[in-house]
Amino acid sequence: MKLSDEKILRGLLSIYLLREMCIKPRYGYELNREVTEKIGVELPKGTVYVLLKNLKNKGLIENEGSCEEDHQKAVIYRITDKGHEFVKSHYQALRLARGMIDDILMTIDNNL
């Protein structure tokens, strides 16, 4: 994956992580695995954890708890009310972006 592709995907990853936590609280490694499966490419090491830290610092997620797995602390993250509002506030922008992306992909498919 090219660096420019990574930048585009990173722009959506925070909202995607929040979306996953809307469904249920998640472990960081679980979120990392789900994102990797979704995009079909392994992200640079630590990418998801940096995003989780940023989301937590903004009050959009919080720790629900933790446990020890294989001698490492595994943290469970959950979305906050502020995080739910953040996702909802981006609904219209995401719909517009989806329309533009569909147009771009159609042009590429038809002309390249």
pTM, whole model, 2 decimals? 0.80
Asked whether residue 3 carries a pLDDT value surpassing 70, the answer given is no
Distances 75 to 5, 30, 69, 98 between C-alpha atoms, Å: 29, 10, 10, 32
In angstroms, the CA 66 to CA 42 distance is 25
What are the chain's domains? 3-111 (1.10.10.10)
CB atoms within 10 A of CB 32: 21
Residue 40: pLDDT band with limits 50, 70, 90? confident
What are the start-end ranges of the H helices in the chain?
3-23, 28-39, 47-57, 81-89, 91-111
What residues contact residue 99 under an 8 Å CB cut-off, 6+ apart? none
Q: pLDDT digits over 10-32, tens only?
A: 678 999 999 999 999 999 999 99
For the chain, what is the mean pLDDT?
87
